[in-house]
Amino acid sequence: MSGPAEPAAGGGLTTPDWLRPMLRTLDSTQVTELSRFTPPVDGSGRHSAVLILFASPGTAAEADVLLIQRSATMRSHAGQVAFPGGATDPQDASPAATALREAAEEVGLRPETVDVLAELPALWLPPSGFVVTSVIGYWHSPHPIGVVDEAEVASVHRVRLSELLLPANRFTVWHPSGYSGPGFEVDGLFVWGFTAGLLDRLLRFAGWEQPWDSQRVRPLPD
């Protein structure tokens, strides 16, 4: 675990009580507990960051996480559900800076409304060659957001954690390539791959996961 990140936005660092169990677990989390795809040892790969942004007016039961559906015309991961984020620019001072900048460009998120709480170890995305650092944020002052650039984002969603936790919304995704991993269907979204894998682990680490049938397998939609 990279440990707590320096706040990259204003507002004063806020850690709601319901997020503390997740953050405590992440303090000792190793990269292999998050994914079997670790960054190349030779340092190759294009660096990027995503923002895993939680918000709640009170408790975990009311909390949500920000997801986007990528445009179908994107060169990589087209049409997939993802966290806001993208490639690191030379002027970005940190993964948190990258994640917040990308979220501003994609959905109009105001960085000063977010407290950065932690960074996860970097993971490897073989299909696109990205080395991805996931940044955990708390949205202390939510405001209206939406699609900024239709070339990159098709839709924006604040998905309730209670919906992600429902066993009826969970299954194992199977891909003809041989890939299998956790999946969710919520808010009209089919969530799989990197995003679903991280959500699965974070919900488990927080102690919120409900028993679900991992033997219920669904193929990846066309």
Of 2.40.170.20, 3.90.79.10, 3.30.1280.10, 3.40.50.300, the CATH number of 17-160 is 3.90.79.10
Token pair of 75 as six digits: 């060169």
Q: In whole angstroms, what is the distance from residue 194 CA to residue 175 CA?
A: 14
Q: Is 195 exposed, middle or buried (0-12, 13-18, 19+ CB in 10 A)?
A: buried
* Burial letters 91-117, b for 16+ CB under 10 A, else e: ebebbbbbbbbbbbebbebbbebbbbb
- Listed by start position, the domains of the chain span 17-160
Token pair of 83 as six digits: 């966290």
Q: In whole angstroms, what is the distance from residue 66 CA to residue 168 CA?
A: 21
Q: One digit per residue, pLDDT tens: the chain, 222 residues?
A: 444 444 434 344 678 999 999 999 998 888 888 988 888 888 888 999 999 999 998 888 899 999 999 987 766 666 899 999 999 999 999 999 999 999 999 999 999 999 999 999 999 988 788 999 999 999 999 999 999 988 889 999 999 999 999 999 999 999 887 889 999 999 999 999 999 999 999 999 999 999 999 999 999 887
Token pair of 195 as six digits: 């995003």
pTM for the whole thing? 0.91
pLDDT digits (tens, 9 = 90+) for 117-176: 999 999 998 878 899 999 999 999 999 999 998 888 999 999 999 999 999 999 999 988
* Contact (Cβ atoms closer than 8 angstroms) between residue 139 and residue 54: yes
